Structure 1
Amino acid sequence: MRTVTVVGASLAGLYAARTLRAQGFDGRLVIVGDEPHLPYDRPPLSKDFLTGRTGEPQLALTDAEESAEIDAEWLLGVRADGLDTRSRTVVLADGRTVATDGLVIATGAAARRLPGDALRGVHTLRTLEDARALRAELTAGPRRVVVIGGGFIGAETASSCRLLGHDVTVVEAAPLPLVPHLGTNMAAVCAALHRRAGVELVTGAAVAGFRRSGTNPASVAAVELRDGRALPADVVVVGVGAVPNTEWLAGSGLAVRDGVVCDAGCVTALPNVVAVGDVARVDGSRAEHWTSATEQPHAAVANLLAGRTIETAQSLPYFWSDQYGARIQFAGRRQPQDTVRIVEGDLHDGAPADGGFLAVYERDHRATAVLAVDRPRPFTRARRQLALDADRMEPAPR
């Protein structure tokens, strides 16, 4: 390959570029990004950046020295608008085209929107621009904040808003936040973290729309629920998931189904096209986690350069979240039928006791996942053992 193009100046895109050079690719490397920034770290946006403890320089994932080593052409602030697989050309929104022999799709995902959320005071939190706008409102004085969605972004944002001294309400459609990830018992523990911090948690509630301010119709005044309730709000944060950025691939012939469809090695139906990170649907599943974005490029690049799948990217799922001063860590593949038990630490009034706890999910007397709150060392040991056990259970490659 003479030219490889990475579409997406993201964490996954940066790791793909690094890996291309590390695995010996010395040809032309082009990196396309729709934001004007070099790759930056997104997890702090809902935490330390929002509270002002971290500035923009600390978000940078690369510097001038590494950029020189990567030796890439950075095309920033321009969106990829199409892919012609026959001519092997990436079409950019400004009319330019990039001819390429190999392609890494790392376009990530965009925040899911709600109808009518274009009012002033209503925010999503996915990009640096999103975080800048939200932080400006939160530092302008006391606010009534309503967070729609009790997932990781919603919970972390609620935590940051509460730390800044705002009145916070979290609206979650499910009976408990994080039930799909943690199961009912452990989701109840996370719900207790909200309540212990003085955050109102409204569960089993669907959002009907937004009420406009009487004095300023362009601004939000309340979040209306389908049961008729209205939650007064000066600031609303919509955290109801993300949609993979695949619209630019329409007409390309690549299979797209909640992400770019790939095999277990991140390879699409075309061996010269791979996908990594939030946009990649790898062997039937899509993972929006930091570790996936950093681990998948190793296999994807090896397969791209080989022209076929020689390596898989199915590592043990892992994620973490910081909420109300607690570090939550989870690893493994939990199923609804799994049981869970606390093996270290304890709960107090339904919330983690001092020192946190370590819990193990089990199925047929075998550990399937581990969860820890403020127990980083025991969690690391348990996660390592879980990965070893999973490797032993995997069939040998043919």
Structure 2
Amino acid sequence: MLLRAVGRQMSAALRQKTAIRSIALSRMALGGGHHHHEPQPVYIPKPGSLDWSLFGSPVKSKHEFEPYKPEVGAFIGAAVFIGLTIAAVVFKTDTFKKDKHHGHHEKKHAPKEEEAHHEVEEKHVEPESAPVEEPVKVEEPVKEEEATPSTSDAAQEAPAPVADEPAAAPAPSTSTEQEQKTPEPEEPAPSTSSSEEKTTAEPASSEETKEEKSPNLHCEYVIIGSGTAAYYASLAIRAKHAEAKVLLIGDETELPYNRPPLSKELWWYGDDSAVEKLDYTSLSGKKRDIFYEVDGFFVTPEDLPKAVHGGVSLLKGQKAVKICAEDKKVVLEDGTTVGYDKVLIATGVRPKKEKVFEEASDEAKEKITYYHYPADFKRVESGLSNKSIQKITIIGSGVLASELAYSIRRKYENVEIHQVFEEKHVAQDILPAHLAKKSTEAIEKSGVQVKAEKQVKGVRKCCKNVVLQLSDGTELRSDLIVVATGEEPNSEIIEASGLKANKELGGVQADKFLKVANNVWAAGAIASFEDVVLGTRRISSWEHAQISGRLAGENMATAGKAEKAFWYQPSFFTKFAPHMHINAVGQCDSTLETVSVYAEPDPETPLEKAVVFYKSKEDGSVVGVLLINVFGPSLDVARRIIDDKKKVEEFKEIAKLFPLYEMPKAPEEPEKEKSA
């Protein structure tokens, strides 16, 4: 009996060591675990820390770094220990063989309460109750435990929450179902992560499926949206609250990404891989893509509650439809509810739909693209690259339509490009009349056929093309129609939640701290907020999404302690032609009075430099600054002028703060004075 007990202990120890070693080897082979589950280092005993001798400690060498010289007793002790171990294992195996039928008989007639009490122990005994003709199955318990930890980290961590759910689900199941599952414990062990999920999902009852659809999750920080504002808000929350758990809920299937390259950098610096990878080579020579993070950065929603040090999780392809402020929960489109402590609305904007294109036939709609998402870039770029698109028409006069027309012309010189809009000039909503006219002329010089003051009256499909009927009676045939006539906020959740909306500017109304209601904030293009300098505003630009997202996230993490008001004036950049770089900051509205200051023409460069000041209607102070081919720290100078809120009398003097003019060179001294 003593040797039998020793054998059981030794066998259990060997299994545990083998399992630990398998986990360590698998994690080392895969480069470690996830970022929030670092693998424990394998313990390596120092020389001399283990005494294997039965007759005394080993004799240490005089030299500090020379290996020890153990006595003969150490080898004898080791041999005796190994012999006892082998004998115990052999004896244990023989004993199990003899007690097979006896153990099976006891288990068959044991009461149900005892079976439930010793459930774990019986799982290890039952695989050994196979027929005697297959003695190999005696070692299956060891093989089973070796196979489980040897899977990848994804198989260990990802199915973990799925494994927890069946633990609660089998409670209402009958004992007959348990008896049918227990005789085959070795089947799910060697399966991969994907097969484990399928195996676990198959026996799920209808009640389990219903619970999975409405799990009633809870997270302390919930962000509705997965764009730029949402991403930077999560970073700010984690910076202020290191162990915070943040859940992003986005209706897009993509990871959070940077939108401006879809109409600029991907066309300018992208190569053949841009369509698939959405990457480009920056001016610094480094390869970049539009995504802020890789998929491994985000913790799965199932693992987020168990993350010891918190993390950021992303729920893709799910649309939030309502916020229940009283119950502190968010309702998703499929009925799932997510509880929160604090919530941020960052739903952003979507492309504005045009009636004439919505009323077109289904065949014609196949040739129409509302340009806004990565899929839109892939469709246009792939069609141009494989030459299935030879004629393309862009509808709109705004910044997006104009820079898209220039970007496509820059990359594909042989493609016929038309830009159709109702206005007189491009970007005339932000540019003064003379600059809007110059921008239109610059686009035409680049090779784009501009059709200004033309309205689309009808759309029809003809052969492989789509035909536009214009207001002047002419028809325009194209292979693809790209609509970029504007944006509108995703504000359905605002109305459904009963939150205050801004009827004039759109979006949800927030205060200077970007707070909407108790424990509710807003950021990005969805927020109409109180600017302490320029009043109530709603801004749709990349830099504003970043800045407002950071501020909202910081205020969420420090609510009631040190909230900050919105103070930073965001800017935007665009390019309509090779020699027209536009940077703007503040309130740039062409309906305001403007003052433009031009630099003297330089024969050495075709760049025309200018600074445009936008004056307030109330007091005449500068509320916006637009820069044409002016770089350096000029945007910071413009922000300071706006923040000061001072009236400007001499705009030529204030224009000297910008690098419009080169500094005058110091007069050279006469040669006689130099020699003296």
TM-score by length of 2: 0.53
| Residue deviations 1:105-142 (CA, integer Å, cap 9, x gap) | 11111111223356122111111112112222222315
Aligned pair partner of 2:340 in 93, 97, 100: 100
What is the CA-CA distance between 1:43 and the residue it aligns to? 0.6
SS in 2 for 1:354: coil
SS in 2 for 1:182: coil
Residue 154 of structure 1 is matched in structure 2 by 401
Contact between 2:245 and 2:310, CA under 8 Å: does it hold in 1?
A: no
Aligned pair partner of 2:584 in 327, 330, 346: 330
Partners of 1:286 and 1:244 lie apart in 2 by 10
Q: Provide closer, same or farther for how the CA distance between residues 334 and 44 of structure 1 changes in structure 2, counting only shifts above 3 A.
A: closer
Residue 224 of structure 1 is matched in structure 2 by 469
Q: Which moved more, 1:60-69 or 1:321-330?
A: 60-69
Q: Provide closer, same or farther for how the CA distance between residues 95 and 226 of structure 1 changes in structure 2, counting only shifts above 3 A.
A: same
Q: Provide closer, same or farther for how the CA distance between residues 367 and 246 of structure 1 changes in structure 2, counting only shifts above 3 A.
A: closer
Residue 515 of structure 2 is matched in structure 1 by 267
Partners of 2:310 and 2:409 lie apart in 1 by 41
Partners of 1:293 and 1:347 lie apart in 2 by 37
Contact between 2:298 and 2:314, CA under 8 Å: does it hold in 1?
A: no
Partners of 2:396 and 2:350 lie apart in 1 by 15
CA-based RMSD: 2.7
Contact between 1:29 and 1:73, CA under 8 Å: does it hold in 2?
A: yes
Contact between 2:240 and 2:558, CA under 8 Å: does it hold in 1?
A: no
Contact between 1:104 and 1:273, CA under 8 Å: does it hold in 2?
A: yes
Partners of 1:59 and 1:255 lie apart in 2 by 34
Residue 113 of structure 1 is matched in structure 2 by 353
SS in 2 for 1:390: helix
1:73 and 2:322 correspond: no
1:286 and 2:538 correspond: yes
Q: Which moved more, 1:278-287 or 1:99-108?
A: 278-287
Instruction: State the AA in 2 paired with 1:5.
Output: V
Contact between 1:10 and 1:39, CA under 8 Å: does it hold in 2?
A: yes
SS in 2 for 1:250: helix
Residue 306 of structure 2 is matched in structure 1 by none
Contact between 2:229 and 2:346, CA under 8 Å: does it hold in 1?
A: yes
Gaps of 5+ in 1: none
Aligned pair partner of 1:385 in 637, 641, 653: 637
Residue 259 of structure 2 is matched in structure 1 by 42
Of Structure 1 and Structure 2, the greater helix share is in 2
What is the CA-CA distance between 1:66 and the residue it aligns to? 5.3
What is the CA-CA distance between 1:372 and the residue it aligns to? 2.8
What is the CA-CA distance between 1:174 and the residue it aligns to? 1.5
Partners of 1:251 and 1:60 lie apart in 2 by 31
Partners of 1:212 and 1:83 lie apart in 2 by 43
Contact between 1:193 and 1:324, CA under 8 Å: does it hold in 2?
A: yes
Partners of 2:515 and 2:471 lie apart in 1 by 43
| Residue deviations 1:357-381 (CA, integer Å, cap 9, x gap) | 132325488654333333322xx32
Of Structure 1 and Structure 2, the greater strand share is in 1
Q: Provide closer, same or farther for how the CA distance between residues 236 and 70 of structure 1 changes in structure 2, counting only shifts above 3 A.
A: farther
Q: Provide closer, same or farther for how the CA distance between residues 359 and 255 of structure 1 changes in structure 2, counting only shifts above 3 A.
A: same
Partners of 1:207 and 1:243 lie apart in 2 by 20
What is the CA-CA distance between 1:354 and the residue it aligns to? 1.1
What is the CA-CA distance between 1:260 and the residue it aligns to? 1.5
Identical-pair percentage: 23
Aligned pair partner of 1:238 in 483, 487, 495: 483
Aligned residue pairs: how many? Answer: 382
Residue 25 of structure 2 is matched in structure 1 by none
Partners of 2:641 and 2:248 lie apart in 1 by 38
Gaps of 5+ in 2: 1-217, 280-288, 300-308, 531-535, 647-676
Divergent runs of 4+, >6 A: none
Residue 13 of structure 1 is matched in structure 2 by 230
Larger Cα Rg: Structure 1 or Structure 2? 2
Aligned pair partner of 1:56 in 259, 278, 281: 278
Aligned pair partner of 2:565 in 281, 305, 312: 312
Contact between 1:271 and 1:307, CA under 8 Å: does it hold in 2?
A: no
Q: Provide closer, same or farther for how the CA distance between residues 273 and 362 of structure 1 changes in structure 2, counting only shifts above 3 A.
A: closer
Contact between 2:588 and 2:626, CA under 8 Å: does it hold in 1?
A: no
